[in-house]
Structure 1
């Protein structure tokens, strides 16, 4: 099993983390997962909203050292 790809969006403000996530998810297959790492407080709202709007599933979100790690599965 290959590692889940990560997107480093530390230091980027809304809407850039979600825009990077959208771009990187386009070539993925349904069921593939990706991790977004962001520190913008707005991402706590933006990422779940993006997932709901686009039919993806937010598998996990956790905070570690000021960064928020979102694991998203392509729907």
Structure 2
């Protein structure tokens, strides 16, 4: 069960990543954010950002051109 969902479907790079960063900045550590995107760049950009941040990538999946990420907000 996630705390928030960000639907970035239809947005082109770099908007899914920027909106993900903004949403995480407004969250409390430990909360989980689900991100839904259709831009293929998200499959590369979002995990790369998470590796450089205090956040944790809980899961990621791609189905029929739709990318889903669950991210646990870090400190």
Same fold per TM (> 0.5)?
yes
Instruction: Write the mapping of 1:1-75 to structure 2, written as runs, cut at 5 A.
Output: 3-75=2-74
TM-score, normalised by the number of residues in structure 2: 0.88
CA distance in 2, matches of 1:54, 1:71: 15
1:5, CA displacement in angstroms? Answer: 1.1
Instruction: Let me know the Cα RMSD of the aligned residues.
Output: 1.4
CA contact (8 A) 2:13 2:39 kept: yes
CA distance in 1, matches of 2:26, 2:66: 25
Deviating 4+ runs (over 3 angstroms):
none
Would you say how many aligned residue pairs link Structure 1 and Structure 2? 74
Q: Secondary structure at the match of 2:40?
A: coil
Unmatched 5+ stretches in structure 1: none
